[in-house]
Amino acid sequence: MNFRRHGQREEPEINFIPLIDLLLVILIFLMVTTTYSHFSELQVNLPQAEGKADEQKNSPLRVEVSRQGEYRVNGQPPAAATVAALTELLKTQASGKTQPVVIINADAQATHQAVVTVMEAARYAGLAQLTFATQMGPK
């Protein structure tokens, strides 16, 4: 007993309408539940000052280290190329300044020890803010 018909078999179809309905519901849900954050700005009226900044107190100390290991602090050489002499020169140059920044301008061919000597002298002089000056190389 063969109850099947020997005719054409129907190919199954994929119905996309329920899928589209589901995606539409998800899209509406996401649009409704999305929170938009608003960044509020605080209006601040800053006071105005009429005085000039005292550049002498805030001017940095520029320490130059040459290729041969010679030092200059703001263009002035120390009495000797020792840590103690460099420390004394840094202390005299920093007197009257509030937390001056020591800018180390070292030659690219200067020894590592020469730069460490400047850093050590700045530490002995009580100068904690150090920075190094660099320049851009060719591209």
The answer as to whether 115 is a domain residue is yes
Determine, yes or no, domain membership for 17. no
13 lies in a domain? no
Long-range Cβ contact pairs of 118-121 (< 8 A, separation 24 or more):
118/63, 118/65, 118/71, 118/86, 120/83, 121/83, 121/86, 121/87, 121/90
Domain annotation covers residue 9: no
| 18 inside domain | no
Q: What is the mean pLDDT of residues 88-93?
A: 90
Distance, in Å, from the CA atom of 72 to the CA atom of 66, rounded to the nearest integer, reads: 9
Looking at the predicted structure, is the pLDDT value of residue 136 above 60? yes
72 lies in which domain range?
A: 56-132
pLDDT surpasses 90 at 10 = no
In a domain? residue 16: no
Q: Is 95 inside a domain boundary? A: yes
Report the percent of the chain where pLDDT is more than 90: 27
pLDDT recorded at residue 81: 83
Asked if residue 21 belongs to a domain, the reply is no
For the chain, what is the domain count? Answer: 1
CATH code: domain of residue 65: 3.30.420.270
Specify the range with the lowest mean pLDDT, choosing from 10-14, 42-46, 129-133.
42-46
Q: How many CA atoms lie within 13 A of 35 on its CB side?
A: 3
pLDDT of residue 94: 87
Higher-scoring residue by pLDDT: 112, 42: 112
Give pLDDT tens digits for 30-88.
988 887 666 655 565 656 666 665 555 568 889 998 888 889 998 888 888 889 999 99
